[in-house]
Amino acid sequence: MSKQILMIAGVALAACFLYFTAVPAYALVETVFTDQASNITETMAQLNGYTHVSGDEGAEVWFEYGKGNSFDQTTLRNVFRNRAATFSAQVLYLEPATAYQARIVARDTSGTYRGEAVSFITKSSVPKLPYVSTSFAQNVTKSSALLRGSVEPYGDSATEVWFEWGTSVPPERKGVRLEQDGTRQNLAYPVSGLSDDTAHYFRIVAHNARGTAYGDIQSFDTGRATEEAEKDEPDVTTTNPTVLDGGSAVVFNGYVNTKGISTQTWFEWGKTSSLGNGTARALARTDSGNFSESLAGLEHGTVYYYRAAAVNKNGTAYGLVKPVSIGVALSAQDTQVLSPEVVTRPSVVTGDAETPAPTNILLRGSASSGGGNTFVWFEWGIVSSLGSATAGQPLGTVPSRAVSASIFDALPNTTYYYRLVAQNEAGVSHGSIQSVQTPAVAKVVPAAAFVPAIEPLVEEEPAEPLAASAFFGTDIFGPYLPEWLLIIFSLYIITKIFLNKF
């Protein structure tokens, strides 16, 4: 056989070898897994999933989603090559308070694969449920009491607020609607006609378009309160004065707790701390509260002193002596006595938080009462403007105490902001806003979940020609024996051509 024929045969065999052993570029979707949606608001959500793609050809990955059971919307498509990774996409313009389903989709050279569908519900655009806290009753007598509580309507001035009270649990009587301006505030409601020597229960209630919120139920005993109060003289406090028109007149101020007993009030005053003068006694009263008396014609350039006084059938009580300056500076000693025993706003310190679990946050802080009956709570949220609050806790009048509260059902791997808040009759104090990061959940996914039996739902065009081993099969010499036989035979023919032998 001529050299030309041998050369053609060698080239043909080499071409066959190259054709059958060529491995085409490919992409293989090995895993698709749809995770739960996150960062859900009224109109948007983040879809999450996981995919594992082998090969350099690249596989397209995207999400399908829609309302109810439909999947009529899709996200933009990304291309994955030779990697296993999480995949997320944010979807916008969703409808509030609506159920959606979503699933991850991946397509390689052989087909399209879909993960299991997950569902989520967008948040409602209706205002959040109001927050209410029931405080302790005041001015309890044989037949009356002052019910107290606080409400946080979160800016909704249409929120209805009222008190419920009675001799059973839950309380059976409902008071009239109380006015509120949409801001957090303390409210009080007087009730009368109560039964003597009886336990009574009450709570504050608020209602808006989202629903009804109930405060904790508190109680008081008319008989016990009356027995204790009727043995006591009134409590009276001298509060800071008010100077009018540059000193032409001054207003003495005080506060009296009558304890439900008929009480008269007045002020004693003078140019020295011995006083020596007194105002006329006011008409008797049984309600506790502030009282004042104005005095004109005082000497300019003089420091006067005064104190509040009150009397009932059990005795007389006096407040501290306080100075008031008419056109002259107070001495250091006089300045120091302007504040004692006056209730001031509480002081608060926001402490460090702990995360015992990815979905649990323990908030910490400390608060001082400022001398008044104080309640504390934490405000918190996933943005620095906060937006949520824990239940109120009574701090009482203690000088200082550590406080804590827990947030359950928190989102893992999320930054939370929080601060401690305290309130008494002098006002509200806010601690500094701190932040804490919840840990991520260590995802342990069963093998069956991450390696499902994936069936192509949409068949694509046939793949490229397969390697020779796909036709010749394999045997005990290994999967590449046919290819190596072709190589040896081709080399043999080429050698013969060059050696001019056959």
pLDDT computed for residue 198 by the predictor: 85
pLDDT computed for residue 462 by the predictor: 42
Using CB atoms within 10 Å of the CB of residue 359, give its burial: 0 to 12 exposed, 13 to 18 middle, 19+ buried: middle
**Rg value, the chain, Cα:** 41
pLDDT computed for residue 296 by the predictor: 82
pLDDT computed for residue 453 by the predictor: 41
For domain 28-125, the question of CATH label 2.60.40.10 is answered with: yes
Concatenated DSSP letters for 424-480?
ETTEEEEPPPEEEEPPPP-----HHHHS-----SSB-SPPPPPPTHHHH--BTTBTT
In the three-class reduction of DSSP (H, G, I as helix; E, B as strand; rest coil), residue 242 is classed as: strand
pLDDT computed for residue 7 by the predictor: 59
Residue 391's identity, in one-letter code, is A
Place of tokens 């071409």: 15
Beta bridge partners of residue 208, listed in sequence order: 211
Say if residues 254 and 266 touch (Cβ distance below 8 Å): no
The whole-model pTM stands at: 0.31
Name the architecture of domain 131-228: Sandwich (2.60)
Looking at domain 347-437, what is its CATH homologous superfamily? Immunoglobulins (2.60.40.10)
**pLDDT by residue for the chain (502 residues), tens digit each?**
565 565 566 656 665 655 555 545 566 888 889 999 999 888 899 999 998 888 777 889 999 999 988 899 999 998 888 888 889 999 999 988 788 999 999 988 888 899 999 999 887 666 678 888 888 787 788 888 889 888 888 777 788 999 999 988 888 888 888 877 778 888 888 888 888 888 889 999 999 888 888 988 888 888 654 455 556 778 888 888 888 766 678 888 888 888 778 899 999 998 888 888 889 888 888 887 888 898 888 888 888 889 999 998 888 888 888 888 877 666 655 554 444 445 677 888 899 999 888 888 999 998 887 776 777 889 888 887 787 778 777 776 666 788 888 887 788 888 899 999 887 766 778 888 899 998 886 544 433 334 444 444 444 444 444 444 333 444 434 444 555 566 666 666 766 666 665 4
Residue 42's identity, in one-letter code, is E
End-to-end CA distance of the chain: 8
pLDDT computed for residue 205 by the predictor: 93
Max Cα–Cα distance, the chain, nearest Å? 146
Say what angle helices 3-21 and 481-499 make with each other, to 10 degrees: 160
230-336 and 347-437, same CATH topology: yes
- Considering Cα of 281, then 284, then 288, then 289, what sign does the dihedral take? negative
Say if residues 127 and 207 touch (Cβ distance below 8 Å): no
Distance of CA 224 to the CA centre of its chain: 41
In the three-class reduction of DSSP (H, G, I as helix; E, B as strand; rest coil), residue 22 is classed as: coil
Q: What is the topology classification, in CATH, of domain 230-336?
A: Immunoglobulin-like (2.60.40)
Q: Would you list the domain boundaries of the chain?
A: 3-23+464-499, 28-125, 131-228, 230-336, 347-437
- Considering Cα of 235, then 239, then 402, then 218, what sign does the dihedral take? positive
